[in-house]
């Protein structure tokens, strides 16, 4: 049976995407308020806009046809941001948000603290050990090349994990194999678990490193939805010969003022008072941003 063609992207405006990203952050906070353990909330909030633009706009996917060979693939290399990915997928229609909340982190749950492709259909790769996602994505992109397939493979990395040698081996292999169908996004929030990134590893000049490995490099504000949409719209054709990396400057804890840039919120849980405070801060920041744009 011939696979049905997929639509390249959904026709959503920047404002609609911003609303969906705000919904993602709201649901993330609400889940953190119901789960008794710690959630990697800081890095989830920094990646929310990237995941929204990919699942809602950029990727060729159909939640009702998850095995279609023409679909784009997505690999969450920073596997500790699984909650953010689950919620982005739920909003897109892969499964229900209520299902995530009811079983997240429980034994044998499909919604583990790191994603598992065996447990959760629609997840393309099991990840969590940092530095492994890009090598997996390279393998997927190379396989697509050999099969004559035209889909893209997207991979989201944290900047901290790009201190791993496996990332740069994969970067070199991607350029050597001319994988223009591979697109990596780096969540460049400049924080590690217990320190600022540059205190432990000298990453800068960061974009120059990727360029030196032969990648097409795009530098963008990872919280500017209009800019992220332009990046997606301007990606080279999948049959081009250079992989693309989008270095997205982000803020850990984005949207919640007392979490932004605060190392204490790499991971944590929210009691009732903290949840109310976080939701108030999130809604206030969102409304202020929307009002500012309306007045421009």
In angstroms, rounded to a whole number, what is the distance separating the alpha carbons of residues 201 and 187?
A: 16
From the CA atom positions of the chain, what is the Rg in Å? Answer: 18
pLDDT at 196: 85
pLDDT at 36: 83
In angstroms, rounded to a whole number, what is the distance separating the alpha carbons of residues 134 and 160?
A: 13
Residue 258, classed as helix, strand or coil, is coil
Per this entry, what is the length of the chain? 296
Q: Euclidean distance between the first and final Cα of the chain, in Å?
A: 52
pLDDT at 7: 59
- Looking at residue 280, the DSSP 8-state letter turns out to be H
Query: Is residue 248 within a helix (H) or strand (E), and if so which, with residue range?
Result: strand 244-249
pLDDT at 9: 60
Give all strands (DSSP E) within 80-199, no chain letters. Answer: 153-158, 182-188
Long-range (24+ apart) CB contacts under 8 A made by 13-19 are: 14/225, 14/226, 14/229, 17/52, 17/53, 17/56, 17/57, 17/225, 17/229, 18/225, 18/289, 18/290
DSSP string of 28-46, one letter each residue: HHHHHHH-SS-B-HHHHHH
Residue 184, classed as helix, strand or coil, is strand
Q: One digit per residue, pLDDT tens: the chain, 296 residues?
A: 445 666 556 789 999 999 999 999 999 999 999 888 889 999 999 999 999 999 999 999 999 999 999 999 999 999 999 999 999 999 999 999 999 999 999 999 999 999 999 999 999 999 999 999 999 999 999 999 999 999 999 999 999 999 999 999 999 999 999 999 999 999 999 998 888 888 888 999 999 999 999 999 999 999 999 999 999 999 999 999 999 999 999 999 999 999 999 999 999 889 999 999 999 999 999 999 999 888 87
**Residue boundaries of the structural domains of the chain:** 14-291
pLDDT at 37: 85
For residues 238 and 197, the answer to whether their CB atoms sit within 8 Å is: no
CATH class of 14-291: alpha beta
Long-range (24+ apart) CB contacts under 8 A made by 115-120 are: 115/76, 115/79, 115/82, 115/85, 115/86, 120/86, 120/95
């Amino acid at each position: 049976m011939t696979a049905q063609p997929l639509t390249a992207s959904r026709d959503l405006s920047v404002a609609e995407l911003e609303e969906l990203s705000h919904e993602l952050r709201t649901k993330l906070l609400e889940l953190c308020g119901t789960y008794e353990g710690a959630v990697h909330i800081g890095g989830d909030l920094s990646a929310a806009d990237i995941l929204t633009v990919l699942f809602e706009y950029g990727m060729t996917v159909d939640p009702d046809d998850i095995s279609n060979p023409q679909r784009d693939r997505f690999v969450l290399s920073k596997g500790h941001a699984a909650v953010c990915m689950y919620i982005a997928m739920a909003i897109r229609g892969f499964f229900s948000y209520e299902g995530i909340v009811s079983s997240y982190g429980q034994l044998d749950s499909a919604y583990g603290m790191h994603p598992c492709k065996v447990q959760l259909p629609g997840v393309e790769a099991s990840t969590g050990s940092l530095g492994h996602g890009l090598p997996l994505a390279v393998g997927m992109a190379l396989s697509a090349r050999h099969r004559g397939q035209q889909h893209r493979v997207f991979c989201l990395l944290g900047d901290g994990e790009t201190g791993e040698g496996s990332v740069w081996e994969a970067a070199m292999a991607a350029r050597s194999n001319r994988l223009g169908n591979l697109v990596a996004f780096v969540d460049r929030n400049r924080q590690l678990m217990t320190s600022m990134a540059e205190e432990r590893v000298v990453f800068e000049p960061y974009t120059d490193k990727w360029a030196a490995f032969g990648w097409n490099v795009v530098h963008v504000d990872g919280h500017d939805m209009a800019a992220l949409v332009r990046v997606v719209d301007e990606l080279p054709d999948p049959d081009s010969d250079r992989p693309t990396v989008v270095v997205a400057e982000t803020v850990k804890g984005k949207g919640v003022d007392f979490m932004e840039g605060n190392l204490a919120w790499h991971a944590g849980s929210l009691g009732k008072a903290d949840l109310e405070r976080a939701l108030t801060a999130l809604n206030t920041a969102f409304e202020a941003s929307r009002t500012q744009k309306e007045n421009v």
